[in-house]
């Protein structure tokens, strides 16, 4: 065959994608005509490999196919042992520890919904200095948050319930920004499942008694 492909080059970080898996997919193309290879078909085949988020294949004269690979990244821990990738796939990676990532949980197949709610809730809380750390979605459809305000050394459990979650969280965020976040006491938990308000539990900080001198 004239103009055969004789070389393949790879571009990417390859933290999780196995080059051997890519090479196996590419093997049938070695020796084929440089100009006749269907690049789109090849790209589709390479995207089926575990951890591949996207891939592009280009020709490099005179005999090389260049494979540029974008890996999926981990965006959250899932339940006790899983991880959620950037394309909302749940993977198991034994022994992996990434304490900087948020933790999500929910019934099987709900990771896309949990990711959407996490983004919505995070946006509401970020405006008042609160960072969402954990988001749980129960079998009954109820939502619960664990969030932190590191400036106040607060860790707050927030129960949202099963409906009107954004309205409830907005009401809390507004109250937190206006008054609750300015008080000396630190919040421990908030229950937002009330129609016209919410219940708050405080960690009471006792002031030291004045010391008499003289």
Give residue-wise pLDDT tens across range 6-65. Answer: 999 999 988 888 889 999 998 888 889 989 999 999 999 999 888 888 999 999 999 999
What order of strands is seen across the sheet that includes strand 131-137? 90-92, 82-85, 74-78, 103-105, 131-137, 143-149, 154-161, 186-191, 199-203
**What is the model's pLDDT at position 96?**
82
Q: Are residues 99 and 198 in the same domain?
A: yes
**What is the model's pLDDT at position 94?**
76
pLDDT(214) > 50:
no
Q: Model confidence at 210, in pLDDT bands (50, 70, 90)?
A: very low
Q: Are residues 46 and 107 in the same domain?
A: no
Q: Locate 199 and state its tokens.
A: 């219940």
Give the CATH number, domain containing residue 147. Answer: 3.40.50.11690
Distance of alpha carbon 123 from alpha carbon 144, whole angstroms:
16
Task: Note whether 88 and 75 are within 8 A (CB).
Answer: no
State how many domains the chain has: 2
Domain around 184: 74-203
Each as own residue / partner, the long-range contacts of residues 114-119 (CB below 8 Å, 24 or more positions apart, any chain) are: 115/75, 115/76, 115/84, 115/88, 117/143, 117/165, 118/76
**What is the model's pLDDT at position 87?**
86
Give residue-wise pLDDT tens across range 167-209. Answer: 999 999 999 999 887 887 888 999 999 988 899 998 875 444 4
Q: Are residues 101 and 122 in the same domain?
A: yes
Q: Are residues 46 and 61 in the same domain?
A: yes
Q: Are residues 54 and 91 in the same domain?
A: no
pLDDT(1) > 90:
no
CB 2: neighbour CB atoms within 10 A? Answer: 7
Q: Are residues 53 and 78 in the same domain?
A: no
Q: Are residues 20 and 114 in the same domain?
A: no
The pTM of this model reads: 0.74
Task: Note whether 170 and 197 are within 8 A (CB).
Answer: no
Task: Note whether 125 and 173 are within 8 A (CB).
Answer: yes
Q: Which of 71, 96, 123 is the last residue of a domain?
A: 71
């Amino acid at each position: 065959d004239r103009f055969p492909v004789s070389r393949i080059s790879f571009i990417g970080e390859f933290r999780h994608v196995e080059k051997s898996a890519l090479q196996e997919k590419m093997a049938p193309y070695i020796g084929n005509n440089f100009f006749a290879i269907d690049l789109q078909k090849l790209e589709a085949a390479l995207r089926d490999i575990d951890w591949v988020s996207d891939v592009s294949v280009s020709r490099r004269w005179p005999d090389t196919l260049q494979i540029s690979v974008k890996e999926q990244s981990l965006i959250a821990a899932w339940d006790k042992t899983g991880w959620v990738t950037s394309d909302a796939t749940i993977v198991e990676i034994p022994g992996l520890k990434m304490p900087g990532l948020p933790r999500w949980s929910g019934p099987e197949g709900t990771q896309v919904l949990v990711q959407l709610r996490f983004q919505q809730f995070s946006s509401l809380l970020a405006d008042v200095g609160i960072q969402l750390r954990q988001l749980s979605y129960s079998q009954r459809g109820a939502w619960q948050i664990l969030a932190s305000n590191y400036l106040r050394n607060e860790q707050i459990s927030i129960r949202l319930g099963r409906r009107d979650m954004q309205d409830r969280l907005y009401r809390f965020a507004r109250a937190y920004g206006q008054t609750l976040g300015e008080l000396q006491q630190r919040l421990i938990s908030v229950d937002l499942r009330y129609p016209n308000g919410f219940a708050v539990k405080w960690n009471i900080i006792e002031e030291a008694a004045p010391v008499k001198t003289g």
